[in-house]
């Protein structure tokens, strides 16, 4: 029996990818007057939030709801048949247990034993009365037995605080034992165990909470506060334990940095000590168990800080700090408070409205971006009501004293014992002045730029430089398309037309290890951030070195820290760190570990070399070295470098497993970092700062070739600026604001790496398809080394040509080659089936050069074929076809309207893209017949360019573009030189002014907001299907299930290899997954949810032939989108110049 009816991981579905968004609220009496009225109002408030929840296939199966109240002492005394001590001297554990008698009895025995071993007494058990007659059919099988255990406080606990701590320790210990005993982990759950609060929750709809738990209806059941939560899970699998509130919080939002936060907590095991918890601390690990939701993990962290001696407000300010680094208006004391605590704990970053209570205080806070709603009002009879929106309780206007909303990073706190509201300014000034944080920082903080300058190594001669560049896989393209624009413009390079080269695992050429990792991005359940407009909340500041003891409240001010404003170190910066021991009075000690191994050992030697490196790192930390520099500078003819990403992650995870990671910082000195994605992966897997010495040496050698005369210092400064801007963009795609949160957060999916390799060296990273492991990674490193120091004639004087960004002879394979383009154009212009068959064969037959995952698939043909006349005819099949969303502006009027005419002629649909459409194209002709140039699908994107009521009512489908395959997590961009008068008129903008759509829809910060927009669009045009466009990534199926529950009629899954008119090259290559992965997961997740019949699924991104369509159909698609191929038919020759407005054939 399981209280979680989540299916086990199967096919492409993984229960770990469940996400939720929600409505939160509380009602309380400021003067701590307990009454049943408060509980009743809490339940009414919860019911009014029902629109923020959702239901799936079972109309009586919600996503979970609950209510957290103060201990109802009088009620409990009346209903138990044993004596209770005075209030505050007993605690109640609210426990979900299995329905089977034997495991339930065993678990209860474990609970009783732990309570007694903890020095407390078991007063008795009580069955919580419930009425399950209204539960949905999918909920009832997972319904637990709900029981309360009453615990008497022992005389050894001098006060209620120490009793609360004892209950915390007892609960952790019994959880760990029951988990370790091999019971189904989801068959048992303690919703609360406290002497102050009691938590009633379950897999219920909002209105069911008060009906299911009969206690809540009893007039004697009284509390001065009620904290409530209504969950909107993207999936519909009932989980009793994931319903909220948790033990201290309820949370509307998503913690984007969760993987890193959990890793860093585990990494503190060796260094964490607590005067308050004492020896008990060692017995309660893991502090955050695996397999929980992000909100449950956050609740564990908050609980730990409280039990470790922090106040409620202090703990919340550590976990969710407001934006301070760029805020010039913040007072110095508060800035010092946040800066001091930054070293103590990385922020739990992501959109969040969190309401919290410990039974004595209740409050709420918003994340630094304010990306979730929270409004509150205060009445003249001392009530405070806070919720996701107003109107949750009917309060006459004349009774309202104050009505306001929580603002980004702000906190509201009501102290029931003091009987007053404490506003944000008072809370934070009191806490920030409680200790001399500014003074401590002055004494113990070293800023890297203020240290004496070291002398960096000399730049190598040209021959040595070439050997090194080849050892690390540099190509001519890297220098031309990536490095040169970064130095010339101070920004990362822009490209167009998407990625039509194979995923790294299918390539016949050695690839940089980072290219196997695809950046994650926010879609629907949380918003991407605009790093330019939201500059105030973004920060690249990073702390290098060991972290203080998180619970060492009395050790404050004694810990030295090294801070740098951004993570890219010049050679001089690295020398400052290398010799920091002499400039810090011995507070920092640096050890350089070389990540190279003897070339004679070949590829077989890498596994042993990694093991040596990890044990050297462990020994160095135990020997007192608190900054480790991982360096591949010793690469030469006799030494092969371990890929730096692999070395960094291996050491990072080894130190986490040994509990030593927070005792030392990791700095990387590498030749393997050139483009933004290299830095993002190194940082995401644990590097705190990176010195790209070979990139700097390369820039030095290229100075004479840049279009303007630059000093090396200026060229280096521009390059570092470009990397910084690129990192901000990568972080912001996932809704992460600070590098401190991003470091170690592993916000990547692996594509083409096998699970044993990931488990060993990149623990916690998801992969949906297997692939290569350490032997193949080692062989690729050895191949690069052999090219560098071998005798191949072509590499003696020059780098490899590359061919990743454009077709090159002797370069990387591409799908679109001069041959495939010419065959398709000749076939379509001459209407020649024979030439088209040759084109199809070139694309489909991938026996010798693998280009796509679908190329690996073979059809399993039926033993008995059916007659062709029983198959859906071609004239019907083409009605399932649509053109991709290419905007007017990205492509010309002629190209855009031709696509519409063609699709209307065959009964398919064309898509306007995000640039609107001229009214003269969608208005009927004078004779009343449909306009042949009308696009059937009208897109609504984040910039809302060209979106009017007239535009929307002239649509068959309205597509909400959440993300685009070539640049998920970013908005579309149209350079100013392409915005002519006609385009400006259609987009309602100004000619010559560049147009950039914001990364998020500013009215969609959550799945509830998306449901609202879908509702609004259905009211504008009731006849149109409403579609939502998502991009393939691990977890997209879960999001698609949420989209279906938000009442969309259609969802599009776009592959990362789709085209674009303009996008940063980093996004084109490294964000998103192939559509085969996302489509299969979406179909399987919708089927498991019993939602597949409610929604149509379209796939697009690199669809080129009939075989692609059939593979897409077999993986679950109903409809199919084509974009690049139709453009090529129109005349595009793939010059990839769309973004420059220099298209030689006039398509763009």
Quote the pLDDT of residue 768.
85
State CA 1129 to chain mean position distance: 38
Enter the DSSP assignment of 223.
B
Instruction: Give the closest residue to 3 by CA, choosing from 101, 109, 139.
Output: 139
Quote the pLDDT of residue 1.
40
Distance, CA of 777 to CA of 596 (rounded, Å): 14
Ranking 437-451, 816-830, 923-937, 1132-1146 by mean pLDDT, the lowest is 1132-1146
Matching residue, tokens 């700097």: 696
Distance, CA of 263 to CA of 743 (rounded, Å): 11
Ranking 110-124, 256-270, 1093-1107 by mean pLDDT, the lowest is 256-270
Quote the pLDDT of residue 372.
86
Tokens of 96: 């979900």
Whether 903 has a pLDDT exceeding 80, the answer reads yes
| Helix axes of 1036-1045 and 1075-1088: crossing angle, nearest 10 degrees | 50
Quote the pLDDT of residue 54.
57
Buried-exposed string 1092-1118: b where 16+ CB fall within 10 A, e elsewhere: beebbbbbbbbbbbebbbebbbebbbe
Whether 53 has a pLDDT exceeding 60, the answer reads no
Enter the DSSP assignment of 26.
E
**242 close to 20: Cβ distance less than 8 angstroms:** yes
Distance, CA of 96 to CA of 189 (rounded, Å): 5
Within 10 Å of residue 1049's Cβ, how many Cβ atoms? Answer: 18
Task: Identify any residues that bridge with 1054 across adjacent strands, giving them in sequence order.
Answer: 1031, 1100
- Residues 318-338: what's their mean pLDDT? 91
* Choice among 22, 153, 157, 614 that is catalytic: 22
Q: How far is CA 637 from CA 57, 471, 634, 883, in A?
A: 64, 10, 10, 52
DSSP string, 962-999: ---TTSTTS--EE-GGG--HHHHHHHTS-TT--EE--S
**386 close to 421: Cβ distance less than 8 angstroms:** no
Residue bearing the bigger pLDDT, 682 or 1137? 682
Most distant CA atoms of the chain, gap in Å: 94
Q: How far is CA 582 from CA 559, 629, 888, 959, 1133, in A?
A: 17, 17, 62, 62, 61
Contacts with 754 (C-beta within 8 Å, 6 or more apart), sequence order: 767, 770, 771, 772, 773
Q: pLDDT for 837-885, tens place per residue?
A: 999 999 988 766 788 999 889 999 999 999 999 999 999 999 999 998 9
Q: Which domains does the chain have, with CATH numbers?
A: 462-492+502-795 (3.20.20.70), 852-857+867-1140 (3.20.20.70)
Enter the DSSP assignment of 517.
E
**490 close to 718: Cβ distance less than 8 angstroms:** yes
Distance, CA of 260 to CA of 762 (rounded, Å): 12
Enter the DSSP assignment of 939.
E
Contacts with 663 (C-beta within 8 Å, 6 or more apart), sequence order: 270, 271, 546, 621, 626, 655
Burial of 901 (0-12, 13-18, 19+ CB in 10 A): middle
Task: Identify any residues that bridge with 201 across adjacent strands, giving them in sequence order.
Answer: 66
- Residues 1066-1095: what's their mean pLDDT? 92
- Residues 12-20: what's their mean pLDDT? 59
Matching residue, tokens 């709420």: 364
Tokens of 289: 């168990």
pLDDT tier for residue 928 given thresholds of 50, 70 and 90: confident
The alpha carbon dihedral of 779, 784, 790, 791 has a sign of positive
Ranking 181-195, 243-257, 353-367, 597-611 by mean pLDDT, the lowest is 181-195
Instruction: Give the closest residue to 213 by CA, choosing from 13, 72, 412.
Output: 72
Terminal-to-terminal C-alpha distance of the chain: 60
Enter the DSSP assignment of 814.
-
Distance, CA of 321 to CA of 326 (rounded, Å): 13
Ranking 67-76, 109-118, 761-770 by mean pLDDT, the lowest is 761-770
Q: pLDDT for 105-148, tens place per residue?
A: 999 999 999 999 999 999 999 999 999 998 888 888 889 999 99
Instruction: Give the closest residue to 1033 by CA, choosing from 1067, 1073, 995, 1081.
Output: 1073
The alpha carbon dihedral of 652, 655, 661, 666 has a sign of negative
Phi, psi of 75 (to 5 degrees): -60, -45
Cis peptide before 286 (omega within 30 of 0): yes
Whether 434 has a pLDDT exceeding 50, the answer reads yes
Q: How far is CA 546 from CA 301, 389, 567, 644, in A?
A: 20, 43, 16, 21
Distance, CA of 381 to CA of 37 (rounded, Å): 13
Quote the pLDDT of residue 650.
97
Whether 348 has a pLDDT exceeding 60, the answer reads yes
**1088 close to 7: Cβ distance less than 8 angstroms:** yes
Burial of 651 (0-12, 13-18, 19+ CB in 10 A): buried
DSSP string, 61-77: --S-EEEEEE--HHHHH
The yes-or-no answer on residue 743 being catalytic is no
Burial of 893 (0-12, 13-18, 19+ CB in 10 A): middle
State CA 656 to chain mean position distance: 21
Task: Identify any residues that bridge with 1031 across adjacent strands, giving them in sequence order.
Answer: 1054
Quote the pLDDT of residue 881.
96
Quote the pLDDT of residue 148.
97
Can you give the pTM of this predicted structure?
Answer: 0.93
Q: pLDDT for 400-422, tens place per residue?
A: 999 999 999 999 999 999 999 99
Distance, CA of 24 to CA of 39 (rounded, Å): 15
SS3 assignment, position 13: strand
pLDDT tier for residue 634 given thresholds of 50, 70 and 90: very high
Distance, CA of 574 to CA of 576 (rounded, Å): 5
Matching residue, tokens 């209570």: 357
Whether 1062 has a pLDDT exceeding 50, the answer reads yes
Ranking 173-187, 573-587, 1038-1052 by mean pLDDT, the lowest is 173-187
**689 close to 564: Cβ distance less than 8 angstroms:** yes
Tokens of 1041: 């299930």
Count of alpha carbons within 13 angstroms of residue 842, beta-carbon side: 19
Distance, CA of 957 to CA of 63 (rounded, Å): 29
pLDDT tier for residue 184 given thresholds of 50, 70 and 90: low
Output helix, strand, coil percentages for the chain, rounded to the nearest 5.
Answer: 40, 20, 40
Instruction: Give the closest residue to 961 by CA, choosing from 996, 1000, 995.
Output: 1000
Q: Which helix (H) or strand (E) holds 362?
A: strand 361-366
Q: How far is CA 470 from CA 69, 604, 631, in A?
A: 65, 21, 17
């Amino acid at each position: 029996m399981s209280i979680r009816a989540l299916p086990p991981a199967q096919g492409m579905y993984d229960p770990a990818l469940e996400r939720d968004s929600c409505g939160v609220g509380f009602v309380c009496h400021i003067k701590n007057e307990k009454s049943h009225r408060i509980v009743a109002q809490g339940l009414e408030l919860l019911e009014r939030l029902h629109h923020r929840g959702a239901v799936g296939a079972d109309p009586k199966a919600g996503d979970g709801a609950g209510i957290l109240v103060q201990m109802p002492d009088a009620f409990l005394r009346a209903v138990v048949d044993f004596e209770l001590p005075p209030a505050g001297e007993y605690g109640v554990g609210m426990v979900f247990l299995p329905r089977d008698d034997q495991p339930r009895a065993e678990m209860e025995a474990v609970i009783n034993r732990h309570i007694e071993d903890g020095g407390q007494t078991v007063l008795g058990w009580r069955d919580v009365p419930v009425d399950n007659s209204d539960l949905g059919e999918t909920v009832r099988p997972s319904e637990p037995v709900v029981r309360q255990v009453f615990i008497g406080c022992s005389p050894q606990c001098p006060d209620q605080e120490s009793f609360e701590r004892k209950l915390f320790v007892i609960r952790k210990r019994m959880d760990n034992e029951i988990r370790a005993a091999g019971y189904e982990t989801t068959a048992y759950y303690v919703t609360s165990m406290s002497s102050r609060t009691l938590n009633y929750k379950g897999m219920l709809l909002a209105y069911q909470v008060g009906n299911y738990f009969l206690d809540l209806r009893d007039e004697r059941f009284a509390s001065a506060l009620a904290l409530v939560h209504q969950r909107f899970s993207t999936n519909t699998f009932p989980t009793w334990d994931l319903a909220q509130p948790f033990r201290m919080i309820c949370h509307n939002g998503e913690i984007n940095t969760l993987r890193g936060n959990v890793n860093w907590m585990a990494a503190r095991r060796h260094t964490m000590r607590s005067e308050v918890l004492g020896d008990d601390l060692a017995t309660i690990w893991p502090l955050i168990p695996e397999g929980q939701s992000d909100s449950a993990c956050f609740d564990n962290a908050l609980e730990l800080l409280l039990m470790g001696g922090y106040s409620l407000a202090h703990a919340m300010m550590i976990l969710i700090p407001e934006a301070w680094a760029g805020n010039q208006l913040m007072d110095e004391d508060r800035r010092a408070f946040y800066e001091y605590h930054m070293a103590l704990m990385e922020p739990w970053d992501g959109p969040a409205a969190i309401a919290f209570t410990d039974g004595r205080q209740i409050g709420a806070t918003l994340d630094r971006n304010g990306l979730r709603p929270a409004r509150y009002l205060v009445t003249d009879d001392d009530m405070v009501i806070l919720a996701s929106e107003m109107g949750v309780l009917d309060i006459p206007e004349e009774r309202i004293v104050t009505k306001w909303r929580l603002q980004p990073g702000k906190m509201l706190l009501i102290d029931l014992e003091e009987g007053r509201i404490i506003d944000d300014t008072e809370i934070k000034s009191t806490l920030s002045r409680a200790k001399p944080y500014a003074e401590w920082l002055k004494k113990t903080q070293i800023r890297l730029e203020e240290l004496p300058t070291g002398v960096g190594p000399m730049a190598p001669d040209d021959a040595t430089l070439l050997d090194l560049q080849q050892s690390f896989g540099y190509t001519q393209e890297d220098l031309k398309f990536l490095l040169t624009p970064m130095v010339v413009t101070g920004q990362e390079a822009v490209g167009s037309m998407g990625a039509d080269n194979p995923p790294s695992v299918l390539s016949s050429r050695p690839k940089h290890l980072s290219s196997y990792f695809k950046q994650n991005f926010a879609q629907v359940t949380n918003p991407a951030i605009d790093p330019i407009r939201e500059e105030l909340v973004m920060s690249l500041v990073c702390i290098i070195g060991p972290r203080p003891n998180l619970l060492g409240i009395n050790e404050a001010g004694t810990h030295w820290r090294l801070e740098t404003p951004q993570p890219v170190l010049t050679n001089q910066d690295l020398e400052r760190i290398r010799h920091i021991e002499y400039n810090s009075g011995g507070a920092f000690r640096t050890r350089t570990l070389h990540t190279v191994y003897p070339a004679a050992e070949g590829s077989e030697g890498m596994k042993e070399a990694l093991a040596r490196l990890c044990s050297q790192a462990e020994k160095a930390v135990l020997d007192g070295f608190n900054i480790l520099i991982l360096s591949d500078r010793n690469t030469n003819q006799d030494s092969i470098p371990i890929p730096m990403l692999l070395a960094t992650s291996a050491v990072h995870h080894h130190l986490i497993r040994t509990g030593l990671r927070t005792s030392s910082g990791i700095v990387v000195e590498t030749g393997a970092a050139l483009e933004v994605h290299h830095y993002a992966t190194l940082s995401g897997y644990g590097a705190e700062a990176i010195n790209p010495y070979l990139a700097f040496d390369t820039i030095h050698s290229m100075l004479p070739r840049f279009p303007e005369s630059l000093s090396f210092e200026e060229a280096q400064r521009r390059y570092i600026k470009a990397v910084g801007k690129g990192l901000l963009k990568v972080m912001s795609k996932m809704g992460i604001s600070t590098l401190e949160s991003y470091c170690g957060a592993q916000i990547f999916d692996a594509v083409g790496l096998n699970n044993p390799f990931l488990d060993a060296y990149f623990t916690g990273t998801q992969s949906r398809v297997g692939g290569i492991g350490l032997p193949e990674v080692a062989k690729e490193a050895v191949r690069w080394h052999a090219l560098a120091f071998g005798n191949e004639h072509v590499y003696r004087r020059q780098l490899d040509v590359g061919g990743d960004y454009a077709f090159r002879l002797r370069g990387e394979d591409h799908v679109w080659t001069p041959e495939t383009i010419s065959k398709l154009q000749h076939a379509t212009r001459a209407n020649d089936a024979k030439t088209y068959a040759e084109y199809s064969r070139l694309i489909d037959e991938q026996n010798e050069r693998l280009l796509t995952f679908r190329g690996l698939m073979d059809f399993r043909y039926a033993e008995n074929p059916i007659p062709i006349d029983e198959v859906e005819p071609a004239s019907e099949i083409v009605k399932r076809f649509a053109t991709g969303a290419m905007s007017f502006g990205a492509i010309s009027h002629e190209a855009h309207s031709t696509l519409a005419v063609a699709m209307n002629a065959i009964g398919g649909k064309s898509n306007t893209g995000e640039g609107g459409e001229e009214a003269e194209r969608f208005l009927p002709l004078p004779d009343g017949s449909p306009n042949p140039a009308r696009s059937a699908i009208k897109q609504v994107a984040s910039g809302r360019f060209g979106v009017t009521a007239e535009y929307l009512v002239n649509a068959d489908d309205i597509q909400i573009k959440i993300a685009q395959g070539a640049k998920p997590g970013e908005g579309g961009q149209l350079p100013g030189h392409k915005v002519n008068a006609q385009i400006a008129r259609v987009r309602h903008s100004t000619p010559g002014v560049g147009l950039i759509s914001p990364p998020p829809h500013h009215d969609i910060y959550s799945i509830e907001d998306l449901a609202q927009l879908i509702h609004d669009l259905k009211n504008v045009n009731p006849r149109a299907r409403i579609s939502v466009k998502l991009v393939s990534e691990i977890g997209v199926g879960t999001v698609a299930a949420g989209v279906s529950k938000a009442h969309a009629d259609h969802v599009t899954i776009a592959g990362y290899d789709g085209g674009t008119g303009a996008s940063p090259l980093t996004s084109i290559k490294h964000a998103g997954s192939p559509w085969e992965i996302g489509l299969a997961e979406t179909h399987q997740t919708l089927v498991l949810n019993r939602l597949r019949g409610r929604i149509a699924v379209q796939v697009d991104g690199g669809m080129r032939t009939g075989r692609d369509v059939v593979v897409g159909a077999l993986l679950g698609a109903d409809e199919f989108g084509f974009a690049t191929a139709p453009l090529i038919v129109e005349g595009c020759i793939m010059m990839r110049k769309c973004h420059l407005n220099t298209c030689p054939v006039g398509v763009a």
